[in-house]
């Protein structure tokens, strides 16, 4: 006994066969958000050693510019200049502080935010001194 797995109904179009066809049929097109554009710029800039160095410091004493907030502002300036050069509209016209806040969201997405990294000991998230002592043993 042979079963036909394809069901066909008159007048029903076939499913899209490629991702491009699928995306072309999307009914609700959500424009990219500032976070989406900053994420794109961040990834495009990540290979730049000067840009990446701005994220290394966990404490202000280690920061390139003497304070982690200053490093964040400088990274946001990198983002804005990159967005202007590459015609990424929302990020290109955003205020610097908005870019900093968005960049902090993006860093959390990748697990590289300063607060998250400060609480890592041997790759484990810790929250208090007892956990730090235990993780160090």
49-70 confidence digits (pLDDT tens): 999 999 999 999 999 999 999 9
Residue 123 included in any domain: yes
Is 0.85 surpassed by the pTM of this model?
no
Mean per-residue pLDDT for 29-56?
Answer: 94
78-94 confidence digits (pLDDT tens): 999 999 999 999 999 99
Residue 71 included in any domain: yes
Residue 63 included in any domain: yes
pLDDT(137) > 50: no
Residue 21 included in any domain: no
Q: Are 74 and 82 in contact (CB under 8 A)?
A: no
Mean per-residue pLDDT for 97-117?
Answer: 94
Closest CA to 72 of 42, 30, 33, 34: 42
DSSP lists the bridge partners of residue 124 as 121
5-23 confidence digits (pLDDT tens): 556 667 777 888 888 888 7
Counted domains in the chain: 1
- Residue 9: its pLDDT value, please? 67
Residue 27 included in any domain: no
- Residue 3: its pLDDT value, please? 55
- Residue 17: its pLDDT value, please? 87
126, two tokens: 């810790």
Burial (CB count within 10 angstroms: exposed 0-12, middle 13-18, buried 19+), residue 38: buried
Residue 121 included in any domain: yes
Enclosing domain of residue 92: 34-136
pLDDT(105) > 50: yes
């Amino acid at each position: 006994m042979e079963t036909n797995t394809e069901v066909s109904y008159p007048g029903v179009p076939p499913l899209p066969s490629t991702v491009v066809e699928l995306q072309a049929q999307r009914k609700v097109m959500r424009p990219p958000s500032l976070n989406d554009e900053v994420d794109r710029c961040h990834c495009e800039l990540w290979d730049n050693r000067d840009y990446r160095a701005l994220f290394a410091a966990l404490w202000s004493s280690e920061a390139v510019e003497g304070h982690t907030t200053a490093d964040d502002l400088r990274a946001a300036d990198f983002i804005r200049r990159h967005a202007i050069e590459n015609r990424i509209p929302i990020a290109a016209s955003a205020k610097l502080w908005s870019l900093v806040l968005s960049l902090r969201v993006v860093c959390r997405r990748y697990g590289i935010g300063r607060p998250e990294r400060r609480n890592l000991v041997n790759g484990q998230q810790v929250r208090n001194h007892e956990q730090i002592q235990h993780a160090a043993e």
